[in-house]
């Protein structure tokens, strides 16, 4: 939510210029202008390679006398939920492009600038909460989680401290909007069933939670109680958000998460016959021999 940053200069960089023009993105940003000194700008760039990400950053800093941004929020792109066997080779590769590389290249280019900043990574799911989602939903996001949750173990991420760079990752629950509506068009029935009790956030609610976590200096930021439970249960060596609170949440998750996980496993196994019939109907696997 741009209204959460009332006096900042803001650039929106859309990473898929094939589906949305700069003009489409630019118009709404002007409604949040608070002062004439603010720079509100938008660009459409592909961010799937290092040179493309470098060109995008060059456009961003042009109106700021070449000064790099104080903060970069890296939000993963689209998701096309399907069963693993349904994906084409191209779709699997695109899943990594949209879910990981569009953020990783941008972060790398920004680190090269060696200016003091914060890197914010936005993951679609809390770790462990993606039991039946397809790989274009989770595979790239898992790479983001490894990049973040092991950051205080991995020397390559620890070395960002040399440049005064702080790293955060945000685990929101589902977020309401056109993207979620689009995902539901291909979402497997079992996934929809497992997520039917989820409470999605609006974009404004998610932005407020994210900024609150950044201001508190939280390494892993969550959107609600459920994502907090998954955070503490998969925290590994990442810094705690609070010793007392995380200790209590860890105790709850130690009991609740395995119970939840076993329930999910039961539902998935019960869906197996229906799933095999679904795949054979679509020609993904051959139909069973007659009489079976």
Range list of H helices, 74-151: 89-96, 102-112, 135-149
Which pTM was predicted? 0.74
Q: Residue 144: its pLDDT value, please?
A: 46
| Residue scoring higher pLDDT (149 or 77) | 77
**Using CA atoms, how far apart are residues 184 and 203, in angstroms rounded to an integer?**
18
Q: Are strands 220-222 and 40-44 parallel, antiparallel or unpaired?
A: unpaired
**Using CA atoms, how far apart are residues 31 and 47, in angstroms rounded to an integer?**
27
Q: At what angle do helices 225-233 and 243-270 cross, to 10 degrees?
A: 90
Q: Residue 135: its pLDDT value, please?
A: 44
Range list of H helices, the chain: 22-29, 50-61, 89-96, 102-112, 135-149, 155-158, 178-183, 189-194, 203-215, 225-233, 243-270, 272-281
| Residue scoring higher pLDDT (272 or 174) | 272
For a pLDDT cut of 70, what percent of the chain falls above it? 73
Residue-wise pLDDT for 240-258, tens only, equals: 888 899 999 999 999 999 9
The stretch 172-195 carries a mean pLDDT of 85
Residue-wise pLDDT for 218-235, tens only, equals: 888 988 898 899 999 887
Instruction: Measure CA 111 to chain center.
Output: 20
CATH domain 45-253 topology: Rossmann fold (3.40.50)
């Amino acid at each position: 939510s741009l209204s959460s940053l009332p006096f900042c200069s803001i650039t929106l960089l859309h990473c898929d210029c094939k589906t949305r023009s700069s003009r489409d993105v630019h118009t709404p940003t002007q409604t949040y202008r608070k002062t004439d000194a603010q720079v509100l700008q938008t660009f459409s760039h592909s961010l799937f390679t290092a040179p493309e990400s470098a060109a995008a950053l060059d456009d961003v800093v042009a109106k700021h006398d070449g000064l790099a941004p104080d903060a970069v929020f890296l939000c993963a792109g689209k998701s096309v939920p399907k069963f693993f066997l349904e994906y084409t080779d191209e779709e699997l590769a695109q899943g990594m492009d949209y879910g990981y590389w569009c953020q990783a290249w941008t972060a790398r280019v920004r680190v090269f600038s060696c200016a003091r900043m914060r890197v914010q990574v936005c993951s679609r799911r809390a770790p462990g909460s993606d039991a039946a989602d397809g790989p274009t939903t989770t595979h790239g996001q898992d790479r983001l989680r490894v990049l973040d949750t092991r950051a205080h173990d991995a020397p390559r991420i620890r070395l960002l401290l040399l440049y005064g760079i702080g790293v955060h990752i945000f685990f929101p629950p589902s977020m309401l909007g056109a993207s979620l509506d689009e995902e539901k068009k291909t979402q497997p029935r079992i996934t929809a069933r497992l997520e039917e009790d989820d409470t999605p956030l609006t974009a404004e609610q998610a932005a407020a939670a994210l900024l609150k976590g950044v201001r508190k200096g939280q390494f892993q930021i969550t959107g609600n109680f459920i994502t907090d439970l998954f955070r503490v249960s998969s925290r590994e060596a990442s810094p705690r958000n609070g010793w007392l609170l995380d200790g209590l949440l860890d105790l709850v998750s130690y009991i609740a998460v395995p119970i939840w996980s076993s329930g999910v496993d039961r539902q998935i196994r019960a869906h197996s016959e229906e799933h095999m019939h679904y795949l054979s109907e679509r020609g993904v696997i051959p139909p069973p021999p007659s009489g079976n």
